[in-house]
Structure formats: structure tokens, C-alpha cells
A and B are shown apart, each in its own frame.
Chain A
Amino acid sequence: MKAIRLIPIRLIVLGCGLLLLWQCLVLVTGAPHYILPGPIPVFYAIVNNWSVLLEHLQTTLTEIILGIVLGTFLGVTTALTMTLSPLLKRWMLPVLVISQAIPVFALAPILVLWFGYGMASKVAMAVLIIFFPVTSSFYYGMQRTEPHLLELARIMDGRPISIMRYIIVPSAMPAFASGLRVATAVAPIGAVVGEWVGSSAGLGFYMLHANARMQIDVMFAALTVLSVVSLLLYFSIDFAMEKLIFWESKQGIK
């Protein structure tokens, strides 16, 4: 409990420290404002462009969340299918590995070509990026179910679907949670890269737009907003996972 209450204080201290470091960097290097604006001009840029930023943020955030939801759904379904059907697993596992061997960013132009300049291509990008961590973590989590538990369930004449529901899936939850955390951290990358390649809305688009007009402070403003939102998203997922896996005590050395 004590550790939880300390988190906001630590965040504030960390945030202020980073801002201070940023300001020092600007002062020490003497970088011109069109290369590295200080935190104060960026703050004003955020305030001045608030409504525009919010609009673009809405687009990007929708892409990210849709990507996470769809990617997680696809990943979970694939992992469950592979666990339930060893035959399908033998065919799907290589495909999964191959899908990860292709650099997903290189696919961005193709995705834009196929799904258009709208949201769909960015969501597809995010889905592609998070599909692998979710699938592999959940699948291998289920594979690592305590064998003695499965033996016990077999002696009890458990129905396969019940064994899945009560034993295998909960066993995989900690692994799944770490996969989902990775997915949440990388999903914004997918969305923004998609926007860079071709779009007319979203924070990625807005950054390029500002860059072309030498509004570097606006660029940093967009980046800041994106970072804060990504962090909030990550912490929400992290919190939700901790609630979901209520039986796991926090691991680690003090």
C-alpha cells in the first residue's frame, strides 16, 4: 500500500527532473530553438495548439486502442487455437515466426496502399506489431502450465474445455500480461509510423506537418502529448493486469 501511494510523488519528481535536464541541455548546448526548443516554448506550443492537438490525438488514440483491441483478440484467438489443435499449431507456428521476420515497418507503405489513407491502415499496422508478442506470450504461457496440474486434471476426468478454462488459461495469465504490456508499449509506434507514411490526421501526421513548416516547438508539443498518453495507456493496462491476476504477489528483490 505504501509503495502505491508513493508512485505519484515519484512521478512528479521524475517528471520535474527530466524537464530540468531538458532545460539544462538547451542552456549548455546553446542549440537554436529550431533544433531543440526548451520545455517552456513547448509548453506554450501545447497551450496554443491545444484544440488542434486534441483533434489529432483523438485520431491517433483511436488507432492505438483499436489496434490493441483487435491485435489482442487476434493474438488470443490464435494462441487458443494452437493450444487446442496441435495439428493447426504445426502449420501456424512457422507462419507466426515468418510474420515476425518481415520488418513490419517496411510493410507500412503497402498497408497504406491497400487500406488507404484513413484509419484502417494505421490500425492494421498496430495490429501487425502487437500480434506477435500477444500470441507468443499467451501461447508459451499456456504451454508452461504445471504438468502435475494437468495430470491431476486428467485423473479427475476433467473435460478438456474446463481444463482449458480453469487451469491452462489462468496459468498463462502472467505471461499473457507481460505480452500485453509490450504490445501496449509498441502499439503507438505502429500508429505513428502508419501516419508518417500517408495520412491526413493524427499526431504523426501533425508532426510531419509542423516539421515542414519549421514549427519545431509544435513538433515537440505533439511528441510530448503522444508520450504522456502512451504512458497513461501503459499504466492503465498495467493496473488492469494486476487486478486481473489478483493471485500473483509482486515478485522481485527489494
Chain B
Amino acid sequence: MKEYRLEKVAQVGSGSEYGEAPSIFFDKVSLTLGDKPLFDNLSVTVEGGQCTCILGPSGCGKSTLLRMISGTTSLAYRGTIRLDSEVADHGKIAWMSQNDLLLPWFSLLDNILLGAKLRNEESAALRSRARHLMGEAGLAGYEDALPATLSGGMRQRGALLRTLMEERPVLLMDEPFSALDALARMKLQNLSARLTRKATVLLVTHDPMEALRMGHKILVLSKRPAQVKSVVSLVGTPPRNVDDPEIQAHFSVLLGQLMDESLV
């Protein structure tokens, strides 16, 4: 498989300007949606500067966890969710989801610069950084292309670069690769794992293989009300190859746990 050369790319969270990537603490968080509790005194620690993958049966509230951190939905939960960092609370988080959310009326380059545009801080330096990242991600020559003319994999790569351009220490990723075919997914996982090193990444996925390739740590959630059922800590540096012994060792165990928790 062709690997992108990324050594030169400034990695998110690696520079001193972002400081240490913060950890995220959930302390006795409870949330009820509808008549059944979604979380009941859930306590989780997401370590700073690492990639933590969240696995769990569908409907267990994986995505809701991310939304609670990002603060985009005003859910009335009890307990505390806290980021340990000196930086002010806003402006630390970047978001990536399954839907690439590229604006169809913007060129790919403008889409990657969306954050800067929305904050009115677009500059020549940022533009050249975006172009550089595009080159690294194999998107050179597509700067002026409209998203509709690109393949799903290219669009999602664009979405990843848009996330990276934010230069935020915390990346929340909600099944970011699940809409892609196997090969595109693999490539994007590699790109993502390399570019997000040293940032705090919280990656929600339903794919145990993805979690094993990408994560420093894997949290398996139980069905509603979600509790951490098990924690898998991995030693090697992501992205791991599919035939990595660590993956071999954990894959069937993880799959078994997910089967147990699955509702169907």
C-alpha cells in the first residue's frame, strides 16, 4: 500500500504552541434521554496526547459522549465533564464526523480553510499550510475542485485536513471513516493516525479493527446505561498493520465482547 510521506508535516498538538494536549475527565456523569437512562454515573478518563477509541453497541451513546464534550447540544446531564488544560475552554476542540460536511459551494481548498474563514482570520500563511497539507494527503491539484466532483475518500481526506487546520489539541471523531470502502478507509486511518499524533483523539467507531489499528487505548462500552465494560491498552504506535500481533491478540476478544453487548 502506498504510504503518504508526512515527516515534514507539522503535527497537530506536537508544537509547543498548543502546550500539552489535555486529558478529558468524565466524573459520575448521568444523562437520561427518553425514559431510559443513557449514562448512569459514568466515570471515564481519556488520556491526553493519546488516541482513545470508543467501541460499543449501537445506541449506547457513543456519539452522545462526543457531543457532550463539544458542548454543541445542550443536554441536561449531571456530573462533570472537564478538560485539564490552562487554555480557555473554547477553541480547544475540533470535530470530524462520518458525514464529511464539506460545503458544496466552496472549493476543496476553501473548505479546508473553513475554520479560518468563519473566524475571519484567513491568511496567506494558512493558505500555504493548507496547500501543503493537501499535497501530503495526495490532494494536490484538487484545490479548486468542488466537493461534488470528488470521490468519497477524497472528500473525507478533505474533511480530515479541515479538522487538522484547526490546530486544536483535542480531536473528536465520530465514526469518521465508516462511510468509506475498505481500502480508502485503511489509507485514511494511516493518514489520520500520523497527522494526529500527540493530540488527544477520541474516536468513536463500530469497527473493532479500526479501534485496534488506531488506538492507544480502547474503551468498550456496555449497552444502555453505558458503562465501561473493558479497557484495552495497546503498546505499539498507531497506525498498526492488520497483521500486527497486538491486533491478533485482541481482535477476537473485542469482537466477542461486542457480540455480548449487541441488542440484536
Contact = CB atoms under 8 A, between A and B. Distances in A.
A149 B103 CA distance: 9
Interface residues of A, number: 22
A33 interface: no
Nearest to A154: B72
Interface stretch (A10-18, A78-86, A156-164, A210-218): A156-164
Most buried by B among A155, A159, A167: A155
Contact of B118 (A163, A173, A248): A163
B245 interface: no
Nearest to A245: B105
B16 interface: no
Most-contacted residue by chain A among B90, B117, B118 (CB, 10 A):
B118
Contacts of B97: 148, 152
Q: Summarize B's interface: helix, strand, loop or mixed.
A: loop
Contacts of A173: 105
Interface string A213-254: 000000000000000000000000000000000111100000
A146 interface: yes
B73 to A, nearest CB: 8
A145 to B, nearest CB: 11
B186 interface: no
A170 B93 CA distance: 26
Contacts of B175: none
A166 B146 contact: no
A168 to B, nearest CB: 11
B99 interface: yes
Contacts of A186: none
A159 B119 contact: yes
Interface string B91-116: 10111010101011110000000110
B162 to A, nearest CB: 9
Contacts of B166: 156
A69 B91 CA distance: 42
Contacts of B70: 151, 155
B184 to A, nearest CB: 21
Given A247-B148, A249-B148, A148 B99 contact: yes
Contacts of B94: 155-156
Contacts of A248: 104
Contacts of B105: 170, 173, 246-247
Contact of B119 (A148, A158, A170, A246): A158
A158 B118 contact: yes
Interface of B: 70, 72-73, 90-91, 93-95, 97, 99, 101, 103-106, 114-115, 117-120, 146, 148, 166
Interface of A: 146, 148-149, 151-159, 162-163, 166-167, 170, 173, 246-249
24 contacts: A148-B97, A149-B101, A149-B103, A151-B73, A152-B101, A153-B118, A154-B72, A155-B70, A155-B72, A155-B93, A156-B118, A156-B166, A157-B91, A157-B115, A157-B119, A158-B115, A158-B118, A162-B118, A162-B119, A166-B106, A166-B114, A173-B105, A247-B104, A248-B104
